[in-house]
Amino acid sequence: MGHHYTKAAARAGVIGAATALLVSLIGAQPATAAPLHRTPGDTVTTTLYSAIDQLPVVDEDRTGYVRTAFRHWIDADRDGCDTRREVILEEALEAPEVGPKCSLIGGVWLSPYDDVIVTDQGGLDVDHLVPLAEAWDSGASAWTAKERERYANDLDEPRALIAVTAKSNRSKSDKDVADWLPPAAGYRCQYVADWAAIKTRWGLTVDGREAEALHRIASGCEDTELQVVLAR
């Protein structure tokens, strides 16, 4: 989190007038025309509107997708609790009792998608806020198996995984923001901000309908600051 993000730009020696003009023309293109300089581990400080503007717009392709391409719910720290239970424990309003093999007893949660209080962890799903299939469509099909595993178990980014009611998660399925939004209208600005942050973190693209929906929804939200640690 201590690194500072800077845009890459060509800076070498003394450039002639023609080269200077070319650089200025490139700089004048829309933000989506050129990818951000990306160094994993660097922190990008941006805003909601700028983050959406910077997401590359590319047609999606689900060819070859299978959910098992993303190995998930691993126990990375070998403490007996897998990724799913780690999220449930982290997001509890009232912590459950942890029994053998990370069995959970009691606890209280708020599902932000539908603003529902949950008192039985069996009624919770842990959702990938940007679904696995959506990630595949948006660039993850070209990743290594290890990168997809990291994405599917991303505990380093609090916005990536979220405990919600099973009903709301299954209603969402693998839909993007053009086809599904949380029923709790007051949460939607946070949802699109988190969506943009996760796509920025992982260098994922958006399709045209998704980009339009992000801009439309965000137009009714404050242009809040976003800090994103790049994962790749």
Helix axis angle for 208-218 and 188-202, nearest 10°, is: 130
Q: Kindly report, residue by residue over 103-159, the tens digit of the pLDDT.
A: 999 999 999 999 999 999 999 999 999 999 999 999 999 999 999 999 999 999 999
**Length of the chain (residues):** 232
The pLDDT score that the predictor gives to residue 37 is 78
Q: Kindly report, residue by residue over 72-115, the tens digit of the pLDDT.
A: 999 999 999 999 999 999 999 999 999 999 999 999 999 999 99
Tell me, yes or no, whether 126 lies in a domain: yes
Q: What secondary structure letter does DSSP report for 67?
A: G
Tell me, yes or no, whether 26 lies in a domain: yes
The pLDDT score that the predictor gives to residue 195 is 98
Residue 228 has pLDDT above 80, yes or no: yes
Tell me how many domains the chain contains: 1
Q: Which amino acid is at 51?
A: A
Tell me, yes or no, whether 109 lies in a domain: yes
The residues with which 125 forms a beta bridge, in sequence order, are: 164
The pLDDT score that the predictor gives to residue 43 is 97
Label the pairing between strands 97-98 and 104-105.
antiparallel
Tell me, yes or no, whether 185 lies in a domain: yes
Q: Which residues form the domain of 144? A: 17-229
Residue 15 has pLDDT above 50, yes or no: no
Residue 194 has pLDDT above 80, yes or no: yes
Residue 206 has pLDDT above 70, yes or no: yes
Q: How far apart are CA 144 and CA 147, in angstroms?
A: 5
Residue 56 has pLDDT above 50, yes or no: yes
Tell me, yes or no, whether 202 lies in a domain: yes
Tell me, yes or no, whether 55 lies in a domain: yes
Tell me, yes or no, whether 4 lies in a domain: no
Residue 61 has pLDDT above 60, yes or no: yes
The pLDDT score that the predictor gives to residue 139 is 98
Tell me, yes or no, whether 112 lies in a domain: yes
User: In terms of C-beta distances under 8 Å and separation of at least 24 residues, what long-range contacts does 31-40 make, across chains too?
Assistant: 32/56, 32/57, 35/203, 36/7, 36/8, 37/6, 37/7, 37/8, 38/203, 38/230, 38/232, 39/3, 39/230, 40/230, 40/231, 40/232
Quote the pTM value. 0.84
